[in-house]
Amino acid sequence: MKKRRGDRISTCLPLIQTRGQVWVETVIYTLIGFMIIGAVLSVAKPKIEEIRDKTVIEQSRGILEDINMILISIVQGGAGNKRVIELGVRKGSLEIDGVSDKLIFEIDNSRYTYSQPGENITSGSVIINTEKIGEYNVITLTSNYGGKYNITYNGKDELKTLSKASTPYKIFISNKGKINNKTNIDIVIN
C-alpha cells in the first residue's frame, strides 16, 4: 500500500504537539518558580536588611565606646599623648562636633528600631536615640564630652563629617593639654 503525503503529516503532528506542550509547560513552571522566589525575597529582604542594620549599630556603639577608652587613656597619659586608630564607616556617618564637644554617629534609612522612637537609651558612655521617619528609622549614637573635654578638629572648634567610605579613615587623637580646666583633645583625619 502506498502512503500518501497527507498521511505522513498527520502521523508527525502528535509529535510536534508533544514538543510544543513540553516547552509551554517548561516556561510556565519557570515563571511559577520565579514568582515563588520573588515572593520569598520580598519577605526575606527587609528582615535581612534589619539584621544588617542592627549589626552596624552595635558595631558603631562599640567603636564609640572604644574611642571613649582611648580618650581616657590619652588624658591619663598627659599632654602630648597621641593615638592612631583606623575607622571604617560602612553605613551612616560620623560627625566630630568641635563646637558642642560631641562625637555623633548617625545611621539613616535603617529598618531596625533600636528603641522606642523619641526615647534615649544610655549604653555605657553612648546615648542612643531612634527617630521614626516613614517606614525607616534614623538611629543616632552620641558621645557627649562637653563636661570633660574640649574636642577640636584639626585644632579648631568646627564640625567634620566622615561619611561612608570603602577604605578606613586614619584618625589621630592627641592630648593638647588643658585649656580652661578642660583637657583639649584634638582629632585629625589623614
**pLDDT per residue rounded down to tens, the chain (190 residues):** 555 555 555 555 555 566 778 888 889 999 999 999 999 988 899 899 999 999 999 999 999 999 999 999 999 988 899 999 998 888 899 999 999 999 999 998 898 988 889 889 998 889 999 999 988 999 999 999 988 899 999 999 999 999 998 899 999 999 999 988 889 999 999 8
How high is the pLDDT of residue 169? Answer: 92
pLDDT of residue 90: 85
DSSP collapsed to 3 states, 51-74: HHHHHHHHHHHHHHHHHHHHHHHH
Q: Is 130 exposed, middle or buried (0-12, 13-18, 19+ CB in 10 A)?
A: buried
| The C-alpha cell that represents 120 in the structure block | 534615649
Counting every residue written for the chain, the total comes to 190
**For the chain, how far is it from start to end, CA to CA, in angstroms?**
95
Whole-model pTM: value is 0.76
pLDDT of residue 190: 83
